[in-house]
Amino acid sequence: MIRIARVLVALAVAGCTVGAAAPAGSGYAEHARLPALLETLRDDYGFDATDLAVVRRTLADAERLPELIRQERNAPERTRTWSEYRGLHVTDSMVARGVAFMRDHAGTLARAEAEYGVPPELITAILGVETRYGGFVGTTRVLDALATQGFDHPTRSRFFLSELAAFFALTRETGMDPTEPVGSYAGAMGWAQFMPSNYRRLAVDFDGDGDTDLWSAADAIGSVARYLVAYDPDTAWRRGEPMVLAPREFRVRADATDFNTRSPNSSIGALAALGAKPTASVADTTPAGLLALQLDAGRAFRIALTNFYAVMRYNPRVYYAMAVGELAEGISRATDHAAGRFTP
């Protein structure tokens, strides 16, 4: 089990004050947006003067990494076609590794399904797409990622600064040294790649060892399952339902409805009236939305159900959710389940 080194950070900065200046030009200790971050930590998280001194000293150690902003803005789910993105994640090798992961963690996955209703294949697929089943959790210090994105991102600074605040709250609560954890270019952590706010709100100690550790398989499995049912009650995972259906035919005009929305914007009955009737029998009142997937040539169309949007709460990109669904479907079929449990 991979563990993050934990230290009593306050001891390292004993005697510091909030106004203590960092060496000129180092880190983000003198950034113009720092006062707003410190105010948030004081007002929203109850940080006192000693806590804020830790933050300032820690930010003096943060490294500016502008290439992370380029990575975030050019992420594959933003820039690739569906054909290209699918090829990154839905492969025979990924399916085989997913089957092996399910075998190795069968008991934990079964308990997660019993408690949260999320199938083992789906939890496994998310961990596969996120970190290759825990094999690659990122190499960038979370401190550097969140500081760079939070202080310097041209369009998403507010979001990343809020996550930086949540990160400092998380490290204070758990005793993590904020200079130690590594993760993605966006500051996501562990096998499950949770952002700090979601780590604090939704991660669970699923193995009962007293430590909520997303660098462990058991806690990652339980936390993914909880995330899908607890993040947003309106799109919580629905036990036993698929994510995506295929239309029997597709006659919807491009201007008749919005495609690729982040929440269901229609219903099965309304979409059928527009010319997208599903091949499966589903109640007309079922919430749904239309997906348009860009192929190397042309587009493919699908009907998304609530469980598709539950996965989009994990990562709000259509291609991400489709890749998770198709990988889960591949793993499911490889373990002799009937076709169509997740995607057509």
The separation between CA 40 and the C-alpha centre of its own chain, rounded to angstroms, equals: 24
Q: How far apart are CA 77 and CA 324, in angstroms?
A: 12
Q: According to the model, what pLDDT value does residue 230 have?
A: 98
Q: According to the model, what pLDDT value does residue 24 have?
A: 35
Q: According to the model, what pLDDT value does residue 182 have?
A: 97
Instruction: Supply the DSSP symbol for 259.
Output: B
* CB atoms near residue 228 (< 10 Å): 25
Q: According to the model, what pLDDT value does residue 9 have?
A: 36
Q: How far apart are CA 59 and CA 37, in angstroms?
A: 11
The separation between CA 293 and the C-alpha centre of its own chain, rounded to angstroms, equals: 21
Q: According to the model, what pLDDT value does residue 161 have?
A: 98
Instruction: Supply the DSSP symbol for 36.
Output: H
Per the annotation, the verdict on 113 as an active-site residue is: no
Q: How far apart are CA 35 and CA 169, in angstroms?
A: 16
CB-based contacts of 8-17 (< 8 A; 24+ apart in sequence): 8/175, 9/54, 9/58, 9/171, 9/172, 9/175, 9/177, 9/178, 10/50, 10/51, 10/54, 13/50, 13/53, 13/54, 13/57, 16/50, 16/53, 16/54, 16/56, 16/57, 17/49, 17/53
In this structure, the chain runs to a length of: 344
Q: According to the model, what pLDDT value does residue 255 have?
A: 87
**Domains of the chain in sequence order:** 244-334 (1.10.530.10)
Catalytic residue among 77, 113, 121, 130: 130
- Rounded to the nearest 10 degrees, what angle do helices 106-116 and 217-230 cross at? 20
Q: According to the model, what pLDDT value does residue 27 have?
A: 82
Instruction: Supply the DSSP symbol for 91.
Output: S
The separation between CA 253 and the C-alpha centre of its own chain, rounded to angstroms, equals: 33
**Which amino acid is present at 249?**
E
Which residues of the chain, if any, have pLDDT below 50? 1-25
Radius of gyration of the chain (CA): 22
Q: According to the model, what pLDDT value does residue 169 have?
A: 98
Q: According to the model, what pLDDT value does residue 5 have?
A: 38
Q: How far apart are CA 195 and CA 107, in angstroms?
A: 26
Helix (H), strand (E), coil (C) string for 158-216: HHHHHHHHHHHHHHHHHCECCCCCEECCCCCECCCCECHHHHHHHCCCCCCCCCCCCCC
What is the reported pTM?
0.91
Q: According to the model, what pLDDT value does residue 49 have?
A: 97
- Rounded to the nearest 10 degrees, what angle do helices 49-60 and 142-152 cross at? 90
**Which amino acid is present at 155?**
T
Q: Give the pLDDT confidence of 225-275 residue by residue, as tens digits.
A: 999 999 999 999 999 999 999 999 999 998 889 999 999 999 999 999 999
Give the CB-side neighbour count of residue 65, counting CA atoms within 13 A: 20
